[in-house]
Structure 1
Amino acid sequence: MSPHRWQKSSYCQEGDACVHISSAPTLVRIADDDPPRNVLTVGVKAFGGLLDMVKTSGGR
């Protein structure tokens, strides 16, 4: 079991492939499995930039 606390995306429907997020003070972990097997770890600032880009592009 992962020592990180994971939160499922609020956009996930039952049975969909979902994004899971785990955050720490300086890092954000992103995974698409539950339990997570492959994890992308980025800095908080980089993750904020990703969210800004997704919001301005409409998710495309």
Structure 2
Amino acid sequence: MAPTTTPDNWQKSSYSGPGDGDSCVELASSPTALHLRESDDPGIVLTTTPAPVGHLLHAIRAGAVTAPRT
């Protein structure tokens, strides 16, 4: 398995406040993968391909994914 490199082109949601340290999900891309991380713990990176992220976004838009109740 080839080593995974962490990209340096992280982008955060426009819903997040300005500056570093705001709690948000950040996204970066490389030629073959998408990388997601939580701004509170940027050392943990989830790496996936565009198709699963597309399916997740489609399900969210369709209302098939809801937030857990606390």
Figure out how many residues of one structure are paired with residues of the other and give that number.
Answer: 59
- Residue 54 (structure 2) aligns with: 48
Indicate the RMSD between aligned Cα atoms, in angstroms. 2.5
Q: Is this contact kept in 1: 2:25–2:39, CA < 8 A?
A: yes
Greater share of residues in helix: 1
Sequence identity percentage: 37
Where has structure 1 moved over 6 Å in runs of 4 or more? none
The code of the aligned residue for 2:28 comes to S
Provide the TM-score with structure 1 as the length reference.
0.73
Q: What residue ranges of structure 2 are gaps of 5+ in the alignment?
A: 1-5
Structure of greater Rg: 2
